[in-house]
Amino acid sequence: MQNAGIDALGLDWRYLACEVAPVDLAAAIAGAKAMHFIGLNLTVPHKLLAVDLVDELDSSATTWGAVNTIVFEARDPDGEWRPLGQLPDASGPVRSKGYNTDADAIVRSLAEDLAIEPRGARVLLLGAGGAARAAALRLADEGVSELWLVNRTESKAAELATEISERFPAVHAQAGYPESSVEILLNATSAGLKPGDPLPLDVSRFPLRGCDVVYDMIYRPHQTPLLTAAQAAGCRTANGLGMLLHQGASALELWSGWIAPRDLMRAALEREIYG
């Protein structure tokens, strides 16, 4: 996806995947900075750790509490910090700036893939990990009316509900299953990633016919047991490919300053993941 976008923009860059242990994350970021990398994306389990490891945080990272994109910056001739990707002859000190592009990506994917506007909606969110937290805060900020949070470890759902209530008092946030229907059910758990995984919710406590749309953040496999069950119950569904696309395309825009070719990047992503 990124290399297809980079090529289409005519940039002489390459996007590489490197496995880094959490204990080495600070050294990896420092090394990339020393080598004048243009930027980094971070995934599980680095997104929370990176908040304390970058030199600067964009408001997207402070608001949603996680960093999934780092932009390396240097000073331009006017002394302003600018992305290295937009300063071909950069010299002098370099700093790392952390951003979060995941949270906006979920809202954009809901709109594009399911024609859903979260404002005023009743939402059941499954999970309380990093992705669930970013989604819950972002949906609360969008002005959902009710946010029900269900997680395997119930205490984490309760903690997240408390945080949402404190930060967004207009949103009714509560741990547990809703008693009536919801417009949006969002899976932000890892249940469904592996064959034989259980459904991420107890359908005896909340039947899927009680939702209009079901969004599963998982994109591989293409069809999770949750999506199969939701389609059988008559719900409209989407998987997390659109979220993956938009978080990545927004990162490319931050690094390059150009509009990312999202359709082309989506096609590359579909080819790469689904063949």
Catalytic residues: 47
The mark string for 53-92 relative to ligand NDP (x by CB under 6 A, - otherwise) is ----------------------------------------
Segment near ligand NDP (CB under 6 A), from 57-65, 87-95, 178-186, 212-220? 212-220
What does the alpha-carbon distance between residue 211 and residue 231 come to, in Å, rounded to a whole number? Answer: 11
Q: x/- site string to ligand NDP, residues 9 to 48, per CB under 6 A? A: -----------------------------------x----
Angle between helices 102-114 and 130-142 (to 10 degrees): 70
Residue 72: name the closest of 55, 53, 89 by CA: 55
Task: Please give the Cα distance from 63 to 100 (Å, whole number).
Answer: 9
The amino acid at residue 173 is A
Out of 6, 116, 124, 128, name the contact with ligand NDP by CB under 6 A: 128
User: Is residue 188 a contact residue for ligand NDP (CB under 6 A)?
Assistant: yes
Counting contacts by CB under 6 A, is residue 244 touching ligand NDP? yes
CB of 66 to ligand NDP, least distance (A): 9
Asked if residue 251 binds ligand NDP (CB under 6 A), the reply is no
Under the binding rule (CB under 6 A), the answer on residue 176 touching ligand NDP is no
Choice between 33 and 246, CB closer to ligand NDP = 246
Gap between the Cα atoms of 169 and 175, Å rounded: 15
> Applying CB under 6 A, does 269 fall inside the site for ligand NDP?
no
Q: Which of 83, 85, 118, 129 binds ligand NDP (CB under 6 A)?
A: 129
Closer by beta carbon to ligand NDP, 131 or else 144 = 131
Site map 101..120 versus ligand NDP, x via CB under 6 A: -x------------------
Q: Longest C-alpha distance within the chain, in Å? A: 63
Instruction: Give how many residues touch ligand NDP by CB under 6 A.
Output: 27
Tokens of 130: 């990093």
Residue in 121, 131, 235, 260 binding ligand NDP, rule: CB under 6 A: 131
- Residue 215: alpha-carbon gap to chain centroid: 13
Query: Taking CB under 6 A as the rule, does residue 240 contact ligand NDP?
Result: yes
**Contact present, 49 and 91 (Cβ < 8 Å):** no
d(CA 46, CA 70): 12
Q: Does 218 interact with ligand NDP (rule: CB under 6 A)?
A: yes
CA–CA separation, 27 and 202 (whole Å): 42
Residues forming beta bridges with residue 186, ordered by sequence position: 125, 215
For the chain, the C-alpha Rg in angstroms (whole number) is 19
Query: 132 vs 85, 112, 135, 157, CA distance in Å?
Result: 31, 20, 5, 10
Q: Which residues bind ligand NDP (CB under 6 A)?
A: 44, 102, 127-132, 151-153, 156, 188-191, 193, 197-198, 200, 217-219, 240, 243-244, 247
